[in-house]
Structure 1
Amino acid sequence: MSDTTGKQSREWNYHPDLPLQDSSLFKWPPSPGFLARWLARNWLTLSERVIMVIVAVAAYYLLYPSLETAKTFAVGWIVQTWAVNMGLMIAIAGGLHWYFYIHKGQGQTLKFDKRPQAKGNRLWNFSNQVHDNMFWSLGSGVAQLTAFQVVTMWLMANGYAPTITLASNPVWFILALILLPVWSAFHFYWAHRLLHVPLLYKRVHSLHHRNVNIGPWSGLSMHPVEHFIYLTSLCIHWIVASHPIHLIFHVIYQGPGAAMTHTGYEDLLIRDKRRLALGTFYHQLHHRYYECNYGNQEMPWDRWFGTFHDGSEDATTATRARKKKMHA
């Protein structure tokens, strides 16, 4: 039997059951059962995060320069780091775009928005949404991602940033992998709220928000100022002890990982079964209605600060009123 339950509506090709429920890690009172299921779903199956850790480990040993090499800034290893990041971005974002939008491997099944990616519209550079998104993602996006990584590697290599190994601290080594996406979600919410201040929104963040109908190349398609703000999440490695594998995982999570969360589809299907969670309707609602769901489902901030959109018509009305007031 097909595992593609969900509904269609006038606004959406597909949406999950509504209203969206509270799936934050920070529910009160705490639910050990919920936390155990979250841990199992994200870390004890072949999830998006586990796949990124596997890629990070392989890239650490096979593709990126060593810390010893990074002790001195040099063109060779910096270009190598940039080339690896460029390759990963093209492979992941390009692969997802090919599968979902060129090959149409899943058709419209589990696709949130009814529309195709935009063409022939002068809103976009090159009058093409995908080409515009690729320009910003592969240009400023990969360049700044590499810059943050290069600086962090240099700091680690020279002892200015604290480091650990699996042998020296196995508990923290594993725990840090689990907590990095939680840190990223915390950072993302507050950086995102800053970007929605009207002045920054108009001059910077609006470039990303042209993607009302998102696709894999939309995830890292941002104004250079937004790239800088978004990627400061990586500065955590400057003060909290980590290993280069943690840094690479974080780089993949912030960069190519954004393509996975912006596929425009909820899950990857294999033989009509959901095998890999990708985009979330929670964030899709943000791209449609703007002034809501600034964070992600694991963080409680949208619920605590009254900006949670649960997919209902009442939430849409409240969000539109808030947007009108903010941008008056």
Structure 2
Amino acid sequence: MDDLTSGTRDKRGNWRPNDAIENAPVFVWPIRPMKFLRWLPSYFLPWNIIFFAISAVFWFLLTPSREALETIEWGWVIYLFARNSAIVILFYGALELRLYVKRRQGTHFKYNGKFPSEHPSDVFMFKSQNVDNIIRTFGTGLPIWTAYEVGMLWAWANGWGPWATFSEHPIWLICFGLILPILHEFHFYCIHRLIHIPVLYKWIHSVHHNSVNPSPWSSLSMHPVEHLLYWSGSLIHLVLPSHPLLMIYHLNIAGTGAVVGHVGFDKIETGEDGAFDTHAYAHYLHHKYFEVNYADGMMPLDRWMGTWHDGSKAGDKIMQDRFRKKKEKANARKGEA
């Protein structure tokens, strides 16, 4: 495919799409039903349907029995850790292998024209972004993901929490499952703004932002405190009536789904003339500019809060004007002091 039919590449080899990013036509007034219906398939495809399918396999085939879950034992805890690790290795590994190791599509649709492996840096362990990211993913990311899952499965098995069944509450559980990606993004926005407070950014979130040019393994490369906050959104299943399948789906949206914003490519080619959208650009811009797009672009939270960047040149100007005003205010405060 010719990526220049839908985007432009600058002198540094960085690619940007021609079309500006749009928030989902959900939180708008007046309601635009036709635009909503045209957008709706992209809410499910390709990612959310994949994450739900993974979760269904996990729940129906790869989760211990309720009797086993009643008592926390190392055997099934390690088993869940291995199961979660396997999906991350398969999912992240496949994208990394295709796009960054074998480079099957070169820099077609790649936002940053450089590949991290070609640019070692002292900010990473062993000067390697991938090595550093993998160590952090398996060192604290997956253990904390699994710890949340272990705690909630144990609570379900022992009757702790407002758990429900699909036979008794089908409409509620289906609706709850449908909005889980939205709930995840709202929670992500809230904790993301929190850890951009200067002191928290310096000691916690800067670890993730070391990957200015993110790749799949950057997805869960975080400080342990950020991991704890990141998966805390799943605790809603101990507050609202839910089902373990939906809880596992929620964890997968956050865990397996973290790769969506870090894949580094706007489209993944499936042949000479085929490709599918990654929806990665909004979060890539956050890694590039740091103080924009704290949400993932589906909800208009950044637009409401004045931190939205739609990827266009007009968006660049709005961002630069905001940064300039922020700098002027900071200088004025220094002058008064």
Q: TM-score, normalised by structure 1?
A: 0.92
Partner of 2:7: 6
Moved more, 20-29 or 126-135: 20-29
Please say if residues 289 and 316 of structure 1, whose CA atoms lie closer than 8 Å, have aligned partners that are also in contact.
no
Q: Counterpart in 2 of 1:90? A: 89
**CA separation in 1, counterparts of 2:150 and 2:72?**
8
Amino acid paired to 2:284: Q
CA drift at 1:169: 2.2
Bigger Rg, structure 1 or 2: 2
Q: Which residue in 2 is equivalent to 1:16?
A: 17
**Residue in 2 that maps onto 1:117:** 116
- In structure 1, what is the Cα distance between the partners aligned to 2:38 and 2:150? 36
Say which SS state the counterpart of residue 99 (structure 2) adopts.
helix
Corresponding residue of 1:28: 29
Q: Which runs of 5+ in 1 are unaligned?
A: none
The equivalent residue for 1:314 is 317
Greater mean deviation of Cα atoms: 55-64 or 187-196: 55-64
Matches within 5 A, 1:1-328: 5-10=6-11, 13-23=14-24, 25-43=26-44, 46-118=45-117, 119-273=119-273, 275-311=275-311, 312=313, 313-321=316-324, 324=327
Give the letter aligned to residue 89 of structure 2. I
Question: Aligned residues: percent identity?
Answer: 35
Q: 1:70 to 1:319 in 2, by over 3 A?
A: farther
Q: Does the C-alpha gap of structure 1 residues 34 and 164 become closer, same or farther in structure 2, counting only changes over 3 Å? A: farther
Q: CA deviation at 1:273?
A: 4.6
1:217 to partner: Cα distance: 0.6
Distance 2:293 2:229 in 1: 18
| Partner Cα separation in structure 2 for residue 158 and residue 11 of structure 1 | 57
Matches of 1:24 and 1:316, distance apart in 2:
23
Contact 2:2 2:108 in 1 (8 A): no
Amino acid at match of 2:116: Q
Asked if structure 2 preserves the Cα contact closer than 8 Å seen for 1:24 and 1:300, the reply is no
Taking a change above 3 Å as real, the CA distance of residues 39 and 207 of structure 1, as seen in their structure-2 partners, is: same
Contact (CA 8 Å) 2:70, 2:157: kept in 1 or not?
A: yes
CA distance in 2, matches of 1:326, 1:229: 31
Instruction: Provide the rounded CA distance (Å) in 2 between the counterparts of 1:290 and 1:232.
Output: 23
Q: Please tell me the residue identity of whatever aligns with 1:40.
A: P
- Higher mean C-alpha displacement, 34-43 vs 293-302: 34-43
3-state SS, counterpart of residue 173 of structure 1: helix
- Report if the CA contact (8 A) 1:292-1:319 is conserved: no
Give the paired residue count: 326
| Root mean square deviation, CA, Å | 2.2
The offset of 1:2, in angstroms, is 5.6
Once the 2 structures are TM-superposed, how far is the Cα of residue 278 of structure 1 from its aligned partner? Answer: 2.2
Q: Return the offset for 1:324.
A: 4.8
1:222 is displaced (CA, Å) by: 0.3
Q: 1:319 to 1:112 in 2, by over 3 A?
A: farther
Structure 1 Cα separation of the partners of residues 329 and 141 of structure 2: 28
Cα distance change on mapping 1:21 and 1:54 into 2, 3 Å: closer
Structure 2 letter corresponding to 1:210: N
Moved over 6 A (4+): 325-328
Further displaced range: 84-93 or 115-124: 115-124
Instruction: Identify if the C-alpha distance between structure 1 residues 150 and 319 changes in structure 2 by more than 3 Å, giving closer, same or farther.
Output: farther
Residue 194 of structure 1, CA deviation? 0.2
Instruction: Note closer, same or farther for the CA distance 1:310–1:77 as it changes in structure 2 (3 Å cut).
Output: same
TM-score (norm 2): 0.90
Distance change in 2, residues 1:325/1:22 (3 Å): farther
Which letter maps to 1:42?
Y
Change in Cα spacing, 1:322 to 1:100, as seen in structure 2 (3 Å) is: farther
- Rounded to whole Å, the distance in 2 between the matches of 1:179 and 1:26 is 13
In structure 2, runs of 5+ residues without a counterpart are 332-337
CA contact (8 A) 2:99 2:106 kept: yes
